């Protein structure tokens, strides 16, 4: 399988390493605006895979080298700093970048699945979908898979059950309006009660990401593992169910926006977009997520951005 990672910053570099380590590509292309960075990472990762029992050909390249990719992983973005405490601050700059890149990438790899990691996640996933013209089943954002993992880790400590055995999802926006769908959370067939302490965990999990960001200026390990899980389900056609950002079409009265809902992921992308039976409060929260994300989408539609807007 040929996989191209677009944008070799802290996140793209970590994602590329994890994919090579786990043998989730036979050919791995690293593209970066500063090609020397991609070249250095390609050499380093290629040498690292000497320690694993599978072979992966890792190299840097220009956009032409991504031709006929099976998966394009989008990690590009404007520079960030620990002072940026709202993902939406990057919306205009990152929309401009993907508007420049996506048409050519899709022209070169028209059958590819696009996996987006660039923030603001839901806004950029939506723009990628509309710019690419691809089926919604082949444009996926990592979404609240990361938030759900953080939430399950905290919930696990309280209930004494391994996180893998907790069917508890964070849904909606990968951002401040994300919420835990505790009305449908369970383990071993037993419902997990929505206590106030458990409701607060979602806020604690969101804060934990920003605590890391304020110190490091980025988060990379959790999102790389989220990308790894999605890629494994695609490569091996595992049909894992996970909350990822996809186009919403009528769920909870919401349409024409990308948000996270549980989806079954396999070799063709999204095989099923599931519709959990949320309670009235959660449905309202989902609609509020949609309103928040749609407001940023409307502000950042490619035709509304001045052509001389500069992105570093």
- Please give the Cα distance from 43 to 59 (Å, whole number): 7
DSSP type of residue 104: H
Neighbouring CB atoms inside 10 A of 139's CB total: 30
The answer to whether residue 186 is catalytic is no
Q: Which of 51, 15, 54, 49 is nearest to 31 (CA)?
A: 15
CB 167 within 8 A of CB 226: no
Query: In this structure, are residues 83 and 138 in contact, taking their beta carbons and an 8 Å threshold?
Result: no
- Please calculate the CA angle 249-168-268 and round it to the nearest 5 degrees: 45
Catalytic residue among 57, 127, 174, 303: 174
Measured at the CA of 277, the angle between CA 271 and CA 283, to 5 degrees, comes to 105
Q: What is the largest CA-CA distance in the chain?
A: 56
Q: Among all residues, which ones are annotated catalytic?
A: 174
């Amino acid at each position: 399988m040929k996989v191209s990672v677009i944008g070799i910053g802290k996140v793209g570099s970590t994602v590329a390493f994890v994919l090579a380590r786990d043998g989730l590509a036979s050919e791995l292309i690293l593209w970066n605006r500063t090609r020397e960075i991609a070249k250095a990472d390609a050499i380093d990762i290629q040498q690292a895979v000497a320690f694993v029992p599978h072979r992966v050909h890792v190299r840097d390249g220009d956009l032409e080298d991504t031709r006929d990719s099976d998966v394009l992983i989008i990690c590009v973005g404007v520079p960030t700093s620990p002072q940026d405490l709202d993902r939406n601050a990057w919306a205009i700059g990152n929309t401009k970048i993907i508007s420049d890149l996506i048409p050519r990438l899709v022209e070169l790899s028209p059958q590819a699945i696009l996996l987006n990691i660039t923030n603001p996640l839901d806004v950029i996933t939506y723009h990628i979908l509309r710019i690419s013209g691809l089926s919604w089943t082949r444009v996926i954002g990592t979404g609240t898979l990361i938030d759900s993992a953080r939430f399950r880790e905290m919930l696990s400590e309280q209930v004494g059950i391994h996180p893998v055995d907790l069917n508890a999802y964070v849904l909606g926006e990968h951002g401040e309006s994300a919420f835990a769908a505790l009305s449908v959370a369970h383990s071993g067939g037993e419902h997990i009660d929505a206590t106030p302490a458990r409701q607060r965990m979602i806020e604690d999990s969101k804060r934990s990401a920003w605590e890391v960001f304020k110190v490091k200026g980025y988060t990379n390990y959790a999102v790389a593992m989220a990308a790894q899980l999605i890629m494994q389900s695609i490569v091996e056609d595992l049909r894992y169910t996970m909350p990822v950002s996809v186009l919403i079409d009528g769920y909870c009265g919401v349409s024409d926006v990308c948000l996270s809902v549980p989806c079954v992921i396999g070799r063709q992308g999204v095989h099923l977009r599931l519709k959990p039976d949320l309670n009235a409060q959660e449905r309202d929260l989902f609609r509020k997520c949609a309103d928040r994300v749609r407001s940023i989408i409307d502000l950042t539609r490619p035709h509304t951005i001045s052509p001389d807007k500069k992105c570093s």
